Amino acid sequence: MTKQWRYRGFDAAAIQHLAKTAGVETVVAQLLFQRGITDPGFIQTFLEPKFSELREPNLLPNMEPASQRIYRAVQDRTPIVIYGDYDADGMCGTAILYNCLKMLRADVQYFIPNRLEDSYGLSCEALSKLHQRGRRLVISVDCGIGSVAEAAHCRELGLDLIVTDHHTIGEVLPDAAAIVHPALPDFGYPFHGLCGGGVAFKLAWALCQLDSQDKRVTPAHRQFLLESTCIAAIATVADVVPLVDENRIIVRSALKLLLQHAPLGLKALMERAKLHTKSSLGAEDIAFTLAPRLNAAGRLGQAQLGVELLTTQDPDRAKALAEYLDRLNSDRESLERSVTLAATKQIKEQFDVENDPALVVHGAGWHLGVIGVVAGRLAEKFHRPVVVVGLDPLGQKPGTGSARSAGVVNLYEAFQDCREHLVSCGGHAAAAGLKIQEHCIPSFRAALLEAVASRLGGSRPNPTLEIDAEVTLKQISSLSLVQRIERLAPFGASNPRPIFVANQVQLTEPAKTMGNGDRHFQARFVQHGTAIRAIAFGQSEWVETINQHSGFIDIAFRPSINEFGGNHRVELQVMDWRRSPSSIPAPHVLDRSNVSSLT
């Protein structure tokens, strides 16, 4: 769909004042101003967050009773099981708690459901089996807040249950020994954005304090927490939670630690992915290199191997697991491409892409491990909620669906309006999952379209691109300028990498495809004698169209620093392009006086 380019607000006088009072460069002040960060006293905290600024773990709701119950179980040798989720967040949180409890010499095991065979979250059947195996304390990680029936089943079995989670809280809470959740009502915890791994990290920190008998932990516990920070950062970026507040501190701290303090298995994974040669890492290295490899294990029904990678102390095993997860990720990419092609074909042939406010596609045998990724890609492509349902080829089980909202509506609420057509559903505003009988798909599709349309109030969602400023290629090719922009990193949810526009550029040579399967776009653009390399992920279809255009074009892009062979250079990640309508400049232009002083 054609995107609308919308320039962020601009106030030259206010930006200059902010730069002076906060003591930052004008370009940094402009980007902060456009993100609503205008308190000079807060800016240095934002730009240079310190680990010591994390809130004490016992401030989290119910952390004190939860940690004390677990520590008592450690001392009494009560058999403990950590019940984690099968995504990267759940794997990371499970690994953090397992490493912690093993360090404390607890009798502990972990259990991760199989994504392809088991339902999401706690299940009565799995809990019964764990009880039969002698486990007496269950700690959930990244799941459990909606497990009301399962919590009651634990009571019947005589299992103590401690829930740690961050997902949407329902009307009824599970009857557990303790619930640790940042958004529990009536507790007033100031930040609700922690992921499951972040909550698990806080719990492990509280246990370390109990074992150290002091808020200041022992050197051994400190080393453990440094390694755990690296794992918690993987979870935070992988789960796409807001990279602000405590999440920003965790990720920013971990990016400084990863190359030196990552646990053994994570180091092996970084070596396999060739990240160990870089002088520094960014959140994108986690998002596009490490997290997909962990998630591949969960998506293909082998999440336990992801946890093993993050907990093993055997170098040979760590290397073997890293290599295997790398192969799984290649398999996942192949499956994802296949389902994406089939789903896209179905959308174009069977639905009104221009007018349907949501899309529901289904197919027999579509791999359940990749339908969530496919839903995300299609939601971004068509800018509307997309539900992708994989049906049982034998027709014996309900179909499993995964949905993404594209930021258009709250999926959790929309699904509540459609529950009568579903076997089950759950999730949150941006992503949700469901179980559905095949014959109910048409009625569910109709109900979902109505639910989304009613929330949109008759309007049509138009994809927009938030532009920070217009620049020239000469300006943005300045390494020092982009290094100053990088002060706002880590970039991610709620703190996106800035997007700039360069008007009236041309190709230096025909654009080409790149990458496995030729799925990506690459080109060199020139403007007033300055040429720069540009790429666009998943946009191979641009090649033919852009090569056929002989005139000037405008490009919207994110600048980044590419490191190769010890050399650093600026390159552009193109987000969108269009034929140049005129030579009239955009209304909000990056302060050129500041740029010239930097280059």
What distance in Å separates the CA atoms of residue 279 and residue 293, rounded to the nearest whole number?
Answer: 21
Amino acid at 199: V
pLDDT at 598: 36
Query: How long, in residues, is the chain?
Result: 599
Indicate the pLDDT class of residue 595, thresholds 50, 70 and 90. very low
The pairs formed by 211-216 with CB atoms below 8 angstroms and a separation of 24 or more are 211/71, 211/104, 215/56
Distances (CA, A) of 49 to 250, 251, 494: 9, 10, 16
Indicate the pLDDT class of residue 161, thresholds 50, 70 and 90. very high
What distance in Å separates the CA atoms of residue 231 and residue 225, rounded to the nearest whole number?
Answer: 10
Residue 281 has pLDDT above 70, yes or no: yes
pLDDT at 118: 83
Q: Which of 301, 403, 420 is CA-nearest to residue 362?
A: 403
pLDDT at 590: 55
Distances (CA, A) of 476 to 15, 526, 535, 560, 592: 20, 12, 15, 10, 11
Q: Domain of 187: which CATH number?
A: 3.90.1640.30
pLDDT at 170: 87
* 3-class SS of residue 57: helix
H runs (alpha helix) in 180-218: 196-212
**158 and 196 inside one domain:** yes
* Mean predicted confidence (pLDDT) in 423-432: 84
Q: Which residues pair with 556 in a beta bridge?
A: 501, 576
**230 and 369 inside one domain:** no
Structure tokens at 341: 């092609």
**191 and 314 inside one domain:** yes
Residue 168 has pLDDT above 90, yes or no: no
* Mean predicted confidence (pLDDT) in 226-252: 97
pLDDT at 497: 95
- Residue 365 lies inside a defined structural domain of this protein: yes
* Mean predicted confidence (pLDDT) in 380-405: 94
Residue 594 has pLDDT above 80, yes or no: no
**97 and 168 inside one domain:** yes
Residue 428 has pLDDT above 80, yes or no: no
**215 and 267 inside one domain:** yes
* Mean predicted confidence (pLDDT) in 430-446: 94
Give the total number of structural domains in the chain.
Answer: 3
Burial status of residue 173 (CB atoms within 10 A of its CB: 0-12, 13-18, 19 or more): middle
* Mean predicted confidence (pLDDT) in 324-338: 95
Q: Last residue of a domain, which of 395, 426, 456?
A: 456
Question: Is 322 in contact with 268 (CB distance < 8 Å)?
Answer: yes
- Residue 227 lies inside a defined structural domain of this protein: yes
Tell me the average pLDDT of the chain: 93
Indicate the pLDDT class of residue 52, thresholds 50, 70 and 90. very high
Helix (H) or strand (E) holding 342: helix 315-350
* Mean predicted confidence (pLDDT) in 548-574: 93
pLDDT at 429: 84
**288 and 359 inside one domain:** no
What distance in Å separates the CA atoms of residue 174 and residue 152, rounded to the nearest whole number?
Answer: 8
What distance in Å separates the CA atoms of residue 234 and residue 254, rounded to the nearest whole number?
Answer: 9
What distance in Å separates the CA atoms of residue 195 and residue 429, rounded to the nearest whole number?
Answer: 14
Residue 130 has pLDDT above 80, yes or no: yes
- Kindly state the greatest CA–CA separation across the chain: 76
Which residues span the domain enclosing 256?
Answer: 53-325
pLDDT at 290: 97
58-62, 116-120, 227-231, 411-415: least confidently modelled range: 116-120
Q: Which residues, in sequence order, are CB contacts of 186 under 8 Å at separation 6+?
A: none
- Residue 30 lies inside a defined structural domain of this protein: no
Q: Angle of helix 264-272 relative to helix 291-299, nearest 10 degrees?
A: 100
**532 and 565 inside one domain:** yes
What distance in Å separates the CA atoms of residue 225 and residue 208, rounded to the nearest whole number?
Answer: 9
- Residue 47 lies inside a defined structural domain of this protein: no
- From the centroid of its chain, how far is CA 587? 33
- Residue 414 lies inside a defined structural domain of this protein: yes
Burial status of residue 543 (CB atoms within 10 A of its CB: 0-12, 13-18, 19 or more): buried
pLDDT at 1: 60
What distance in Å separates the CA atoms of residue 195 and residue 233, rounded to the nearest whole number?
Answer: 10
pLDDT at 582: 61
**184 and 139 inside one domain:** yes
- Residue 550 lies inside a defined structural domain of this protein: yes
Structure tokens at 37: 């960060």
* Mean predicted confidence (pLDDT) in 575-598: 60
Q: Which of 470, 595, 593, 568 is CA-nearest to residue 527?
A: 470
**315 and 427 inside one domain:** no
Q: Which of 466, 581, 577, 455 is CA-nearest to residue 523?
A: 577
**305 and 380 inside one domain:** no
* Mean predicted confidence (pLDDT) in 561-586: 84
Indicate the pLDDT class of residue 392, thresholds 50, 70 and 90. very high
Q: Domain of 476: which CATH number?
A: 2.40.50.460
Q: Domain of 373: which CATH number?
A: 3.10.310.30
Dihedral sign computed on CA atoms, order 24, 27, 28, 33: positive
Q: Which of 268, 246, 240, 380 is CA-nearest to residue 324?
A: 268
Q: Which of 52, 18, 48 is CA-nearest to residue 33?
A: 18
**279 and 369 inside one domain:** no
- What is the strand order of the sheet 178-180 is part of? 108-111, 80-84, 137-141, 160-164, 178-180
Residue 592 has pLDDT above 60, yes or no: no
- Residue 205 lies inside a defined structural domain of this protein: yes
Helix (H) or strand (E) holding 328: helix 315-350
Q: Tens digit of pLDDT for each residue in 179-215?
A: 999 999 999 999 999 999 999 999 999 999 999 999 9
Dihedral sign computed on CA atoms, order 178, 184, 187, 190: positive
**309 and 398 inside one domain:** no
Burial 289-322 (b: 16+ CB within 10 A, else e): bbbbbbbbbbbbbbbbbbbbbbbbeeeeebbebb
- Residue 344 lies inside a defined structural domain of this protein: no
